[in-house]
Amino acid sequence: MRIPDLPESVGHAPFEAHESAVRSYCRAFPAVFGRAKGAFVFDSAGRAYLDFFAGAGTLAFGHNPDFIKRRLLAYIESDGITHGLDLYTEAKAAFIEAFVRHVLAPRGLDYRLQFTGPTGANAVEAALKLARRVTGRQGVFAFSGAYHGLSLGSLAVTANHGKRAAAGTGLHDVTFVPYPDGQLDDAAILAWIERLMTDSHSGVDKPAAVILETLQAEGGINVAPSPWLHDLQALLQRHGVLLIVDDIQVGCHRTGPFFSFERAGITPDIVVLSKAIGGYGLPLSLVLLRPSIDAWRPGEHTGTFRGNQLAFVAGTAALEQAARIDLGAQVQRKGALCERVLHERVAALDPRLKRRGLGLIQGLDGAAIDDGFASRVSRRCFELGMIIETAGRRDTVLKLLPPLNIEEAELLQGLSTIEQAVRDCLRA
Ligand code: PMP
């Protein structure tokens, strides 16, 4: 199980001595990892961990799936072009064709594709720039609990005060409005948004766009109701304000359908994709835009890495496979199983535990027990051989994010580990 060229057991010394204090996930999961396959990761001592974090949702098909690995190896063997400038390449052409054939055409969607720098944050930057360019307005509305990235433009629409404080400079032109997370009346939120846009004394300029996660992941697994999404889009259309949907974490079948907004029957003006679109955990981001708002001039949002060829190869294989096996239907089935077990065997352990989610992004909210409960459960899961993150305000929500192609037995194994960890933490 070990990579032959690595030493028997790698300690923390290189990281602690030389890596910046900014490192983060490794603090929650302080093993040194080597190999990974499917739903499992192995540390340098050979211990297996069931991965319910899946590279923050990048690994729709788990770690190193053979059907993608073979394509990557063949591409590298053939000396396929590998650098990331936005030249016309065969790999990019194949990706675009697969995306149109398997994602856009079956849904009757007409979007242009913009390849940005490889982070989600960079794609969000592009979406915001474009919305401002197209409308000639500066302001953007974003939601409490929102997470869109940590570069300055994307941080400006990210709500977390801790992350915002690190900007060290002003974060401008954003108005935050409440997310429909059950704390306030959903219709009142829409009325508030409309009033801000129409009242000549609201004190807020009409925005270029509203940027939205249909399900807030980092925000604590908050699901916006479908009718609310529908009504929001109608409202924005009435006032000529663009709708940007950030599907970076919950797109690519995470909630079932390819796009998270399909459940609401809406068509955003701009969609941002990243994470799982790269197929193999390889960095790739793109912005989808209605052709009529493609107001870019050549090179206005450029950069060196805007065509990760290996991610195109992997992403093409992933799109083809998802269509072939009807991944969306699988996610819906496994998501229903996950919900049932969470409800009957985990949330049932204590009435203060609340489950929320869609498909294979599920949350278990422990805030009513205490702020540290979900973090303790995550730590206990790690001791029991499982990687699972927390999300939400004060990290009070345990976030389940397994690979989408996870075997049912592995899904049940993970849920049993969570059940045991919750029992242990309730007893402690
Ligand atoms: N938007 C959403 C919804 C995200 O979940 C994330 C990453 N967690 C981002 C944007 C930022 O992506 P990246 O970390 O690749 O910049």
Do 360 and 231 share a structural domain?
no
Nearest CA to ligand 1 atom 10: 148
- Band the pLDDT of 8: cuts 50, 70, 90: low
pLDDT at 151 over 60: yes
Last residue of a domain, one of 324, 355, 379: 324
Write the pLDDT tens digit of every residue in 50-109: 999 999 999 999 999 999 999 999 999 999 999 999 999 999 999 999 999 999 999 999
pLDDT at site 7: 52
Last-in-domain residue among 259, 294, 324: 324
CA distance linking residue 283 with residue 363, whole number of Å: 25
Q: Whose CA is closest to atom 5 on ligand 1?
A: 249
Residue 264 maps to which CATH number?
A: 3.40.640.10
Residue 288 maps to a domain: yes
Q: Do 331 and 310 lie in a common domain?
A: no
Whole domain around residue 392: which residue ranges? 326-428
Q: Same domain for 320 and 336?
A: no
Taking the CA of residue 275 as reference, the ligand 1 atom at the shortest distance is: 15
Pocket test for ligand 1, best of 214, 274, 308 (most atoms within 8 A of CB): 274
- Mark whether 279 and 408 lie in a shared domain: no
In the numeric block, which tokens belong to residue 82? 């590998």
196 and 174 belong to one structural domain: yes
CA distance 267 to 82: 34
**What does the pLDDT look like over 161-199, one tens digit per residue?**
999 999 999 999 999 999 999 999 999 999 999 999 999
Distance 84 CA to ligand 1 centre (A): 21
Backbone phi, psi, residue 36, to 5°: -155, 145
| Residue 148: pLDDT over 90 | yes
- Rg, Å, the chain Cα set: 21
Last residue of a domain, one of 277, 296, 324: 324
User: Are 208 and 195 within one domain?
Assistant: yes
Q: Which residues line ligand 1 (CB under 6 A)?
A: 56, 119-121, 124, 147-149, 213, 217-218, 246, 248-249, 274
Establish if 14 belongs to a structural domain: no
The predicted-structure confidence for 358-415, as pLDDT tens digits, reads as follows: 999 999 999 999 999 999 999 999 999 999 999 999 999 999 999 999 999 999 999 9
Do 144 and 248 reside in the same domain of the chain? yes
Look-up: residue for tokens 């065969």?
A: 90
Calculate the average pLDDT of the chain: 96
Confidence of residue 9 (pLDDT cuts 50, 70, 90): low
Q: Would you say residue 163 lies in a domain?
A: yes
Any domain includes 355? yes
What is the spatial distance between Cα 337 and Cα 412, in angstroms, rounded to a whole number? 9
Q: With respect to residue 42, please indicate whether it lies within any of the assigned structural domains.
A: no
Which residue lies with its CA nearest to atom 1 of ligand 1? 148
Domain co-membership, 283 together with 370: no
* CATH value at residue 409: 3.90.1150.10
Q: Report, as an integer, the average pLDDT of 221-232.
A: 98
Give me the mean pLDDT over the 40-59 stretch.
97
155/183 same-domain check: yes
- What pTM does this model have? 0.97
pLDDT of residue 3 exceeding 90, the answer is no
Per-residue confidence (pLDDT) for residue 1, from 0 to 100: 40
What total of structural domains would you count in the chain?
2
Among residues of the chain, what percentage have pLDDT more than 90? 97
Domain shared by 404 and 363, yes or no: yes
- Tell me, yes or no, whether 180 and 218 share the same domain: yes
What is the sign of the dihedral through the CA atoms of 41, 70, 313 and 402? negative
Read off φ and ψ for residue 28, nearest 5 degrees: -75, -30
One domain for residues 301 and 336: no
Tell whether 6 is covered by a domain.
no
Separation of alpha carbons 219 and 146, rounded Å: 6
Residue range 298-350, pLDDT digits in tens: 999 999 999 999 999 999 999 999 999 999 999 999 999 999 999 999 999 99
Residue 282 lies in a domain: yes
- Is 263 a member of any domain? yes
| Other C-beta atoms lying within 10 Å of the C-beta of residue 325 | 12
